[in-house]
Amino acid sequence: MRRCAAQRMRQSYHSFFLGTACLLWTGLLMPALLMAAPDITARYAQSQGTRLVIEINVGSSQPASAILVQHLPPGVRILSSQPEAEQYGANRGGAKWLLRNLRPGTSTVSMTLDRAVSGADISAEIRFKSAQGGKMTTIQVEK
């Protein structure tokens, strides 16, 4: 009789544990996994010479906004860009664009420089958060 009671108690604890685990999975963990991080990739369509072009591809899960940071060799100046840079410092060797209202598909940022650069001398990154919030994510622009 004691063995039966002990066995039922173990089954009861086992059922309680499984029920609690399922509740945690469906109530807390699953929604967090379903809020996918924004799907963004970026690459240089042109990465040398006096004109640089960056293609930004946004998937179906777009961020609220993103920041593109272009690093240039010291002294290289941006003569023009499309869209216009939000911040620019020739002495600091870079520029920043705040990209708002990104939609699924491809967007481009292009810039004309005062002198030619090589692909080895430049780099860029994009920082973004998902529309639901969360941590800032940084990706490198591929060459």
17 shares a domain with 48: no
> Which residue stretches of the chain have pLDDT < 70?
1-38, 90
Rounded CA gap, 137 and 126, in Å?
Answer: 8
- Verify that 20 and 46 share a domain, yes or no: no
Contact (Cβ atoms closer than 8 angstroms) between residue 118 and residue 73:
no
Same domain (yes/no): 121, 77: yes
In the numeric block, which tokens belong to residue 106? 């491809």
The pLDDT, as a whole number, for residue 92 is: 75
Q: Are residues 18 and 88 in the same domain?
A: no
Same domain, 9 and 26: yes
Q: Which domain holds residue 57?
A: 40-140
Q: Which H, E and C letters describe 107-139, residue by residue?
A: EEEEEEEEEEECHHHCEEEEEEEECCEEEEEEE
Order across the sheet with 49-58: list the strands: 40-46, 49-58, 105-117, 78-82
- At 33-56, the pLDDT tens digits run 545 556 899 999 999 999 999 999
